[in-house]
Structures are given as structure tokens and as C-alpha cells.
Amino acid sequence: MLLEEGTDVTKLESKFPAFIDKIVGEEYAGRYAPHLQNISELLLFSNLYAEHGENLEVSYIYIFIAIGLLILIIACINFVNLATAQGLKRAKEVGVRKVMGAFKRQLVFQFLAEAFLIAFFAVLIGLVLVELALPWFNDLAEWSVTADYTSNPFYIISIVGFVILVGLFAGGYPAFILSSFKPVKVLKGENSGTNSKSILKTSLVVTQFTVAIFMIISTGSVNRQLDYLKNKDLGFNKNDVLVSGIPSGISKTDFDLVREELFRIPGVSEVSFSSNIPGYQSGSRRQYNPDGEFAENGLLVNSYSIDDNFITQFNLTLLEGRDFSSDLASDSLSSVLINEAAADKFGWEDPIGKTISYKSPEGETERYSVVGLVKDFNFETLQSRINPLLLFNDLDRLGQTSIRINSENLADVTEQISTTLKSLNNGIPMWYYFLEEGIASVYDTEEVIGEMLQYFTYLTIFIACLGLLGLVSFTVINRRKEIGIRKVLGATVFSIVQSISLQFLKLVFIGFIIGAPLAYFLITQWLNSFAYNAPPNATIFISSGLATLFIALLTIGYQAIKAALANPVDSLKSE
């Protein structure tokens, strides 16, 4: 509905009840609650029944924004740690400049300028990487995202603001610390006074590994849930089922003709027709009344229309009663199959023989007798519990064909089916897909999120290891004389490496203690959006902790071994 500019939406919506009364009558008006929704909200802010197309929850956008900010923060933390570690090598430069008359503000300005330049060039490199990565991202997410920085001045302002904020955040601490070095001490080779800040540095590294642990556990949990969604028993056989439409011009009296033509193809074992396909289609939804008693507010129930081969085709379990039969004309007029959830909703312990009724807006009452009880199966996605479902034999509502293939040469049989359907459709090719792929496509968004999380996790681990490497370098420089003295007194290389490594592995362990519960809490919140889920198990936590510990040990080991193998004469000669 295209509204005129300046239309009062609330005032327009207030006229809908009277309009509904006029169309369907007061008796049915209470069943409908129409409202207006901006078309721009459909993609990210809508989650209604029978949407017009696929949408994406805006929460996923917020998640990736949060992850991006976390990665940016730990990158800034790295800059702080690496800058201060390298600053020790520049201590004499600072001392000499101060002796020559440089003021502290001049040194602060120099170091901040260096940080701004690094941030500026990092942004330029980042923009280039965005352009290079966009085709890959669009292919992965099946989107068409473009980066047009000149279309909106806000983008330019944001980029400039980003450079300033990152430069201040990442460069401020090193600038003030390095400019505070005492020239007398640094020129004599004494400690520059940065040890007092070691608590802050270790805290920053703990923060990095907290994020890394969180990302690893989250990625493992998302992949576990995706595997669960793919492999869960849905209560019906979805394997090797080709789904297509019904050829144009085919009426309910011609279904047997279509079936016969398809059975001529070697490898086709079952053919059925239905209004909907189980696994991800909800079907139509109407209000029904149990026991044939009409009430103004009936029970809202989903329904499919199926032929008499549907139950067999999908290997559904008939718990009580019978299936539909083409020999009984009454089945298409007044019979219904229900699932266990529907029997529970109607309050029936023995549903066979019970009746349900539906009253159309035209005032006609339709009554159906329950002839069979079907075991519950997941006819909708796994994001919802099994809802009540009614299965009718209304041949006028059938619109899709399900073809089971029993052949090793799947591609050849599929090609023959396509050719046969084309000939039945007046020479026009018909769409088709495999049911397994159709069900899997429902979780494409989760697949993309899982894959993106993996890449973000690799990046987070890499950045965290850089930060750890910076702090190890900082510590080794500060302890070089201590290490030299210990070697002179007979300390082994192993004992020195162990001493340095344990100091930092404790930080990784603390990061695990903080990150693991945080990951469990947030992943549990995400899993709650699925009616069926696989909570993260102990294996994910243990493997994530061990993997992080191993990666950290490799990072620490290089600097620790290098320090332990250094000649003590080089570190003690100034004494």
C-alpha cells in the first residue's frame, strides 16, 4: 500500500476495524488485527507468520558490530602493549631529547602524531581490504552489499572520527608514559619506571584472551548447533526427495496421469502431491472448533492438504485409525488426520471419530471427522516446537509434487524427471529442488554466522597472540639482567623458559575463567531462539581452553627461549 506523503498512519489504522466488519462481518472481525508495516522494516525488524520473503534478525547485525568493536579494542590494546615494549628501546632517545631541552608536551605530541599516522594508514589499508573482501562476503552471505563512501557525508565523518578516536585511545597511554621517562635514569640504563604499570598491561592481555576464549567457545557452539539442526531426526524421511510444482493445466482428475508418467522413469519409487512440504513450511492457518461445536473464538491450527500417498511417501507413523483412501470419496469432503499435538490441544485422549468444524466468512460450516492419528513430526523449522497440524484430503488445494528417488545415479534420474515435467507443462521447464537442500536453506543465516565467526575467531586469536608477544618482549627486556644473573649462577635454559612461560600462562588461564562463563551465558541465550538445541558440552570448553593454551605457549616460547639462550655477558656488561 503506497501512502500519500504526510499520511497519519495511526489514524489510518484506526479505520481498519470498521473496514474488516464490512468485509467479513462482526462475527469474524475479532479474528483479524491488521496493521501497517513499513516495507523498509521487513528485512531486519519483522518476524511474523508467513513473511513475504526471507528476513534477517537485526540482532545478528548487532552481534557482528559488537564483535568488530571487540576486535578493534584488542587491536588498540596490542598497540599499547607493543608501543610501551618498544618504548623501552627508545628510552635513551627520550632521555637525550629531554637533556637537549625538549618539553614533555613536545614528546607527547610526537608520540600521538605517530599513533595518528599509524591509525590513518591502518584505515586506508582497511578500506582496501573491505573492497577486496566484499565480493567474497557477498558470495558467502548471498547479499549485494556495496561500499559507497561518497554517497553520505556521515561515512567520511565517521572515518575521520575513527582515526582520531583510535589514535587517542591507542596512542594516548604510550605517549604519556614514554614522555614521562626520567632522563637521568634512562641514560644510566636504570629501570625507566614502567614496572608500576605492569598490572595494567597484564589486565589488557587478560582482556584479550577473555575475548579469544569467548570467540572460540562461541564458534564451537554455533557449529555444534548447526550440525544438530542438519542431522536431527525430523520424524519423517527427507532423503532423496525431489520437490517440484504441479504442471500447468493439471486438475485433480489428472494426478494419476502425472504419477504414471513419473513412474515410467527407472529410479522413481514414490510420488505424492500436497499443498505444503514438511520440514520448513507451516501450511495454512485457520480457526477450528473441536467436537463440531462452533465458538466465536476457535483454536488456531495449521493445516496441510495431502493425497493418499503422502503418509507413505514421507514414512510418517500412523498411531491410530487409517490413512486416506482414493476409494472413499468422503475422505476429500469430510475426513481429517491430526497429529498428537492437535489431539492434545483439542483435549482428546481418543481422537478417532471425533469431529472438528470450521465456519467460513460466508457463514458456511464445514465439519470433518478424525479418521487417523499421526505421530508428531517437525513440519516447521526447528526454531519452533511441534504445533498442532491437521491433514486434509482436499485435492483442490494440492500444489506441490514430491518425488522419491531410489537410484545411485541421482543426477541422471533428476534430468529425466525434469524432462518429463517439462513435457507435461506444455514444454515450459519447471523448478525443482531436493528437500534436504530446501530444509538446509532455512538455516543459511546461521551457516553464514558460523563461518563468519570462524574467521573473526582466527583474527582475534592472531591479534591476542600479538599482544601476548608484546608483553613477553616487554618483560624479557625488563628482566634481561635478572636472566643473565640466573644463568651465571647456573640456571638451566628450561628453568628460565618455565619461569617466563608460567607467568603468562596464568594470564591465559584467568582469561579462560572469565571468558568461558560469559560465552556459556550468551550462547545459551542464542540457543533459546531454537525450540530444539544442543547446549555446549564440556568437550567444547576443554578443547577451547587447551587450544588457546597451546597457541599461547608457542607465542611465549619463542621469546622465552630466545631470552634463555642469550649470552649473559651482553646483559651484564653495563654493570
**pLDDT tens track for 50-104:** 555 555 667 777 888 888 888 888 888 777 777 766 666 666 677 777 777 777 7
Rounded distance between C-alpha atoms, residue 324 and residue 338, angstroms: 12
With beta carbons less than 8 A apart as the criterion, state whether 471 and 77 touch: no
Nearest-angstrom CA–CA distance, 140 and 407: 32
Q: Are strands 335-339 and 365-374 parallel, antiparallel or unpaired?
A: parallel
Distance CA 280, CA 483 (A): 65
| Order of all β-strands in the sheet with 400-405 | 268-274, 400-405, 241-245, 432-434
Scan for cell 543465516, then name that residue. 445
One digit per residue, the tens of pLDDT, for the chain of length 575 reads: 777 777 777 777 777 777 766 665 555 555 556 767 776 666 665 555 555 555 566 777 788 888 888 888 888 877 777 776 666 666 667 777 777 777 778 878 888 888 888 888 988 898 888 888 888 878 877 777 777 777 778 888 888 888 888 888 777 777 777 677 666 665 555 555 444 456 777 787 888 889 889 989 999 998 999 899 888 999 999 999 999 999 887 877 788 889 999 999 999 999 999 999 999 888 888 888 887 555 555 688 999 999 999 999 999 999 999 999 988 888 888 999 999 999 999 989 999 999 998 877 666 788 899 999 999 999 998 888 999 999 999 988 898 999 999 888 889 999 999 999 999 998 999 999 999 999 988 888 888 888 888 888 888 888 888 878 777 877 777 777 888 888 888 888 888 888 888 888 888 899 999 999 999 999 998 898 888 999 989 999 999 999 988 988 888 888 788 888 877 766 666 55
Residue type, 375: K
The whole-angstrom separation of Cα 575 and Cα 190 is 11
pLDDT, residue 196, reads 45
